[in-house]
């Protein structure tokens, strides 16, 4: 029997939604990060991680789980994030497009970050070109923040949308990181234009 595609998609969506509820994660997006980290290991025990566009906090929970008691996680979002119990998790209200946010982040970090992850997304308008351009723009701001706060050989992971501007953005990431890869996590809806770019091992500035 061939199952209708829409039905399969809905079932998958439901699956991660329910799983997040049962496992007490704040978002189904949590699984996208967990799946990719499991394969590429760009966040490790003891790491200092900055999560951009972090509300409601599913990725923060995933990062905290990976870095354990000895690491540190800072979540940044335009929206206030409900606090967490862990003493090594902090959140701030900040706009990735505001140059002052970099300084604001640095004040919270015990040392330069080991990893910067970004799930920052604009409010989707439904106009493909516009949403694509906005998403790449936000990913570019996230890249600039990453370059400013990562330690040498640090890692970067950010959401992008497929489209004309993606190639140029990937080229930019390649200028800064030794290993670069585009991935589509299983937990991401097949129909969505969303992809993630991994940049590993920040090159030292010349």
Ligand X SMILES: C[S@@+](CC[C@H](N)C(=O)[O-])C[C@H]1O[C@@H](n2cnc3c(N)ncnc32)[C@H](O)[C@@H]1O
What are the catalytic residues? 159
Could you tell me which residues come within 8 angstroms of residue 171 by beta carbon, excluding any fewer than 6 positions away?
Answer: none
Asked if 78 interacts with ligand X (CB under 6 A), we say yes
# residues near ligand X by CB under 6 A: 20
- Pick between residue 12 and residue 137 the one whose CB is nearest to ligand X: 137
Could you tell me which residues come within 8 angstroms of residue 135 by beta carbon, excluding any fewer than 6 positions away?
Answer: 121, 122, 159, 160, 161
Residue 47 half-sphere exposure toward CB, CA atoms < 13 A: 26
Asked if 95 interacts with ligand X (CB under 6 A), we say yes
**Residue 22: CB minimum distance to ligand X, A:** 16
Q: How far apart are CA 164 and CA 189, in angstroms?
A: 21
Residue 99 half-sphere exposure toward CB, CA atoms < 13 A: 0
Residue 49 backbone dihedrals phi, psi, to 5 degrees: -125, 135
Cβ neighbours, 10 Å, residue 110 = 10
Of 78, 36, 83, 81, residue with least CA distance to 194? 36
**Residue 2: CB minimum distance to ligand X, A:** 32
| Segment interacting with ligand X (CB under 6 A) among 66-74, 108-116, 118-126, 180-188 | 118-126
Cβ neighbours, 10 Å, residue 68 = 12
**Residue 67: CB minimum distance to ligand X, A:** 16
Q: What x/- string results for residues 134 through 173 when contact with ligand X is judged by CB under 6 A?
A: ----------------------------------------
- Chain positions 28 to 47 lying near ligand X, rule: CB under 6 A, are 29-30
Asked if 113 interacts with ligand X (CB under 6 A), we say no
**Residue 25: CB minimum distance to ligand X, A:** 8
- Kindly tell me which residue out of 16, 42, 48, 77 binds ligand X, with binding defined by CB under 6 A: 77
Please give the residue ranges that form the binding site for ligand X (CB under 6 A): 26-27, 29-30, 53-59, 77-79, 95-97, 119-121
């Amino acid at each position: 029997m061939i199952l209708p595609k829409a039905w399969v998609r809905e079932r998958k969506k439901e699956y991660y939604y329910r799983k997040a509820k049962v496992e007490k994660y704040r978002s189904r997006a949590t699984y996208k990060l967990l799946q990719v980290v499991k394969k590429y290991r760009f966040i490790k025990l003891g790491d200092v991680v900055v999560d951009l566009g972090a509300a409601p906090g599913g990725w923060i929970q995933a990062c905290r789980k990976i870095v354990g008691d000895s690491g540190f996680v800072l979540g940044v979002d335009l929206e206030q994030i409900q606090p967490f119990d862990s003493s090594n998790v902090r959140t701030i209200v900040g706009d990735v497009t505001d140059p002052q946010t970099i300084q604001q982040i640095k004040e919270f970090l015990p040392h330069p970050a080991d990893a910067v992850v970004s799930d920052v997304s604009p409010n989707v308008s439904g106009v493909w070109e516009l949403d694509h351009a906005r998403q790449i723009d936000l990913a570019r701001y996230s890249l600039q923040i990453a370059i400013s706060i990562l330690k040498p050989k640090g890692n970067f992971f950010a959401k992008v949308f497929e489209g004309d501007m993606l190639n140029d953005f990937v080229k930019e990431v390649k200028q800064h990181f030794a290993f670069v890869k585009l991935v589509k996590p299983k937990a991401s809806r097949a129909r969505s234009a969303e992809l993630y770019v991994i940049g590993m091992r920040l090159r030292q500035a010349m």
